[in-house]
């Protein structure tokens, strides 16, 4: 038993000696708890990297927001083409008014910590002050939070993590604190949604930018309003985007873009090492299918290192970094080909991450994520008895991108992850679509998925036999990782035309995509399925489906849909 003062009731009294020497009889309330460690994690005992009571822990205390519901309402308003506020995106300062904690919250929590000799500091990387950071020895953290911090290792990656199975806060803090991390979250490193395949020759089997231009009607002429229309490409898990490989790729497939390159931003200790043997298949794919598809749009590779501050692999840190950048110099589109299984994230962090994407939407930044490659089994194929939604596709404020197989894209790929979130309810923009699909399959898979969850993906694009250059050689990859930068590039090119016409960029896409004009810009994908968990998975069908979403985009139709 690892826990000291935590039992099966949520509220308990747990007398403890405070460091200031007073007798502390706070009523402690368990905020988060897990029953066991997930099987991929092993406990580290003494002598094998186990924890010492003096080990310094950096903990982040997430404070209650002033008005997150208000931000949600505004985000939907500025993203809904029928609303009078459409396109009136918020400044980071305006977003901060919703996100920052009320003054009372800041003062109550600060007083609690300072009364125990702890000095909290705001999170330096964030433009908001909704997170306080403290650094304390493990023994003091155990007392403060009624916790039992231990060391664990994620065996596959060798990553050491200090966690507790449970923690508590004084009852008076419950309305002021959302969560404390890292505590009970055993989050594995994010999975990338790309795998290598060997197949060549002919447009039907070898997908390159030229094929994509034909199939999706993507223009090849260069964007003209480039300086403020930046396409951001997220990089995680030490995946580096190689410049020499990009040059070779452009020489092979887009000689007209010869000389195009990308800029780099790093956070959390990230780098973009140019040693050719460190070129990452995922990072190269993402850079080659943005620079090589969004002709002339400036592309920024955002490399997130391991020194993350958010307890979720940097997925929130990257949002804070982007929102701290000046408008005009930060991405208007963010493409991410990495993700998690929703069940591996505690609800607290999944909600915080989704709120971060809501902030991007409020600011007019479109966030696209690969839906994952495990069919109904999640981000990667897994053994499962219940369908595994991927994350953050289940967050209603991201655009989740699934995969299609052939050119032309009439079939869903067998791996395209899709389904329904267990954490986020169906948002109104897709309520009719989700009801229609769920009704259409009747009792099939009853109990295996959540009929009232947010359905994903939203859209899909080519994701099979995609030609890239890796370490100097042409090779082929599969995965919703391919579809995501392709779709992000198309949106970046639409934004370029919108800017040229003096209109605002698209921002949070989904209310537009699911509107009558938006959906008309997509070619419905009506065959194929996404097997997993020993089932055939869901089937693509006429209308929205949890395999290919609304279908694949057509550039000219999108231009019509935005009124150009």
Ligand X SMILES: *[C@@H]1O[C@H](CO)[C@@H](O)[C@H](O)[C@H]1NC(C)=O
Q: Which residues are catalytic?
A: 282, 286, 481
Taking the complex as a whole, the smallest distance from the CB of residue 421 to ligand X amounts, in Å, to 6
Stretch binding ligand X (CB under 6 A), from 33-41, 57-65, 208-216, 445-453: 445-453
CA 104 and chain centroid, separation: 31
Query: Which 8-state DSSP code applies to residue 326?
Result: P
Identity of the residue, 238 or 524, whose beta carbon is nearer to ligand X in the bound complex: 238
> Is 481 exposed, middle or buried, given 0-12, 13-18 or 19+ CB atoms closer than 10 A?
buried
24 is in an annotated binding site: no
Site for ligand X in 159-188 (CB under 6 A): 159
Identity of the residue, 298 or 409, whose beta carbon is nearer to ligand X in the bound complex: 298
Measured between alpha carbons, how far is 323 from 130 in angstroms, rounded to an integer?
A: 14
Structure tokens at 99: 């996100």
Q: Which of 389, 338, 370 is nearest to 487 (CA)?
A: 370
189 binds ligand X (CB under 6 A): yes
Taking the complex as a whole, the smallest distance from the CB of residue 482 to ligand X amounts, in Å, to 22
* Alpha helices, DSSP H, located in 259-399: 281-291, 317-324, 347-362
The residue of the chain with the least Cβ separation from ligand X equals 422
Instruction: State the distance between the two ends of the chain, measured CA to CA, in whole angstroms.
Output: 64
525 is in an annotated binding site: yes
What residues contact 157, with CB distance under 8 A and at least 6 apart?
188, 189
Stretch binding ligand X (CB under 6 A), from 50-58, 316-324, 396-404, 447-455: 447-455
Stretch binding ligand X (CB under 6 A), from 133-141, 275-283, 373-381, 446-454: 446-454
Identity of the residue, 453 or 455, whose beta carbon is nearer to ligand X in the bound complex: 453
Taking the complex as a whole, the smallest distance from the CB of residue 424 to ligand X amounts, in Å, to 6
Structure-token match 């029928």, residue found: 82
Taking the complex as a whole, the smallest distance from the CB of residue 189 to ligand X amounts, in Å, to 4
Identity of the residue, 424 or 445, whose beta carbon is nearer to ligand X in the bound complex: 424
Measured between alpha carbons, how far is 292 from 211 in angstroms, rounded to an integer?
A: 12
Structure tokens at 77: 């308003």
338 binds ligand X (CB under 6 A): no
Among 280, 339, 372, 453, binds ligand X (CB under 6 A): 453
538 binds ligand X (CB under 6 A): no
Q: Do 303 and 271 form a contact (C-beta atoms < 8 A)?
A: yes
Taking the complex as a whole, the smallest distance from the CB of residue 4 to ligand X amounts, in Å, to 29
Query: Which 8-state DSSP code applies to residue 301?
Result: E
Q: Do 316 and 365 form a contact (C-beta atoms < 8 A)?
A: no
452 binds ligand X (CB under 6 A): yes
Identity of the residue, 156 or 520, whose beta carbon is nearer to ligand X in the bound complex: 156
Long-range CB pairs of 520-524 (<8 Å, 24+ gap) are: 520/557, 520/560, 520/561, 521/553, 521/554, 521/557, 521/558, 521/560, 521/561, 522/459, 522/550, 522/551, 522/552, 522/553, 522/554, 522/557, 523/409, 523/551, 523/552, 523/553, 523/554, 524/550, 524/551
543 is in an annotated binding site: yes
Among 380, 450, 480, 530, binds ligand X (CB under 6 A): 450
Site for ligand X in 275-314 (CB under 6 A): 306
How many other C-beta atoms are found inside a 10 Å radius of the C-beta of residue 48? 10
Render the burial of 155-179: b for 16+ CB within 10 Å, e for the rest.
eeeeeebbbbbbbbbbeebeebbbb
Among 157, 196, 382, 534, binds ligand X (CB under 6 A): 157
Identity of the residue, 82 or 157, whose beta carbon is nearer to ligand X in the bound complex: 157
Structure-token match 């994620």, residue found: 154
424 binds ligand X (CB under 6 A): yes
Measured between alpha carbons, how far is 520 from 128 in angstroms, rounded to an integer?
A: 38
524 is in an annotated binding site: yes
Among 422, 430, 463, 510, binds ligand X (CB under 6 A): 422
Among 87, 425, 504, 543, binds ligand X (CB under 6 A): 425
The HSE-up count of residue 59 (CA atoms within 13 Å, CB side) is 30
Site for ligand X in 216-275 (CB under 6 A): 221, 223-224, 237-238, 251, 255, 258-259
Identity of the residue, 280 or 453, whose beta carbon is nearer to ligand X in the bound complex: 453
Stretch binding ligand X (CB under 6 A), from 69-77, 92-100, 370-378, 422-430: 422-430
Taking the complex as a whole, the smallest distance from the CB of residue 530 to ligand X amounts, in Å, to 20
Tell whether the torsion through CA atoms of 402, 404, 405 and 407 is positive or negative. negative
Taking the complex as a whole, the smallest distance from the CB of residue 404 to ligand X amounts, in Å, to 26
341 binds ligand X (CB under 6 A): no
Taking the complex as a whole, the smallest distance from the CB of residue 75 to ligand X amounts, in Å, to 18
Number of residues that bind ligand X (CB under 6 A): 21
502 binds ligand X (CB under 6 A): no
> Is 113 exposed, middle or buried, given 0-12, 13-18 or 19+ CB atoms closer than 10 A?
middle
Identity of the residue, 259 or 442, whose beta carbon is nearer to ligand X in the bound complex: 259
Measured between alpha carbons, how far is 415 from 376 in angstroms, rounded to an integer?
A: 8
**Residues near ligand X (CB under 6 A):** 157, 159, 189, 221, 223-224, 237-238, 251, 255, 258-259, 306, 422, 424-425, 450, 452-453, 496, 500
Q: Give the residue numbers of the binding site for Ca(2+).
A: 524-525, 543, 545
């Amino acid at each position: 038993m690892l826990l000291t003062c935590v039992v099966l009731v949520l509220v308990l009294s747990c007398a403890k000696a405070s460091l200031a020497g007073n007798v502390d009889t706070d009523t402690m309330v368990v905020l988060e708890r897990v029953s066991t460690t997930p099987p991929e994690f092993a406990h580290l005992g003494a002598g094998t990297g186990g924890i010492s009571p003096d080990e310094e822990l950096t903990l982040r205390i997430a404070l209650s927001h002033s008005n997150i519901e208000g931000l949600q309402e505004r985000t939907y308003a500025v993203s809904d083409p029928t609303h009078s506020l459409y396109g009136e995106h918020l400044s980071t300062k305006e977003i901060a008014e919703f996100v920052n904690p009320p003054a009372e919250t800041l003062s109550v929590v600060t007083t609690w910590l300072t009364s125990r000799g702890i000095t909290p500091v705001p999170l330096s990387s964030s433009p908001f002050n909704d997170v306080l950071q403290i650094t304390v020895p493990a023994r003091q953290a155990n007392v403060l939070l009624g916790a039992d911090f231990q060391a664990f290792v994620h065996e596959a990656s060798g990553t050491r993590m200090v966690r507790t199975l449970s923690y508590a806060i004084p009852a008076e803090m419950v309305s002021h604190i959302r969560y404390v991390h890292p505590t009970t979250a055993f989050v594995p490193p994010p999975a990338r949604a790309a795998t290598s395949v060997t197949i060549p020759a002919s447009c039907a089997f070898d997908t390159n930018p030229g094929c994509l231009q034909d199939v999706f009607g993507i223009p090849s002429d260069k964007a003209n309003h480039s300086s403020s229309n930046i396409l951001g490409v997220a990089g995680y898990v030490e995946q580096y985007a190689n410049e020499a490989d990009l040059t070779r790729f452009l020489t092979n497939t887009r000689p007209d873009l010869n000389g195009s390159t990308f800029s780099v931003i790093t956070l959390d200790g990230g780098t973009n090492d140019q040693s050719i043997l460190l070129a990452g298949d995922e990072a190269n794919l993402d850079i080659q299918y943005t620079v090589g598809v969004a002709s002339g749009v400036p592309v920024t590779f955002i490399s997130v290192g391991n020194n993350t501050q958010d307890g979720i692999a940097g997925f929130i840190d990257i949002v804070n970094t982007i929102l701290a950048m000046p408008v005009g110099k930060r991405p208007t589109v963010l493409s991410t080909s990495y993700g998690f299984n929703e069940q591996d994230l505690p609800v607290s962090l999944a909600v915080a991450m989704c709120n971060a994407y809501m902030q991007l939407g409020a600011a007019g930044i479109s966030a696209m994520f690969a839906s994952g490659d495990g069919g109904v089994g999640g981000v990667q194929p897994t053994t499962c008895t219940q369908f595994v939604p991927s994350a953050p596709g289940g967050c209603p404020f991201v655009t989740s991108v699934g995969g299609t197989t052939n050119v032309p894209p009439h079939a869903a790929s067998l791996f395209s992850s899709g389904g329904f979130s267990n954490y986020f309810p169906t948002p109104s923009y897709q309520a009719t679509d989700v009801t229609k699909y769920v009704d259409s399959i009747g009792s099939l898979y009853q109990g295996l998925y959540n009929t009232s969850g947010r359905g994903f993906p939203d859209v899909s694009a080519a994701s099979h036999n995609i030609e890239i250059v890796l370490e100097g050689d042409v090779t082929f990859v599969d995965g919703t990782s391919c579809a995501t930068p392709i779709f992000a590039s198309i949106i970046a090119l639409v934004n370029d035309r919108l800017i040229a016409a003096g209109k605002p960029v698209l921002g949070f896409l989904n209310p537009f995509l699911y509107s009558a004009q938006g959906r008309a810009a997509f070619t419905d994908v009506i065959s194929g399925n996404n097997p997993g968990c020993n089932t055939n998975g869901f089937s693509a069908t006429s209308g929205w489906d949890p395999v290919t979403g609304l279908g694949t985009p057509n550039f000219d139709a999108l231009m019509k849909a935005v009124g150009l």
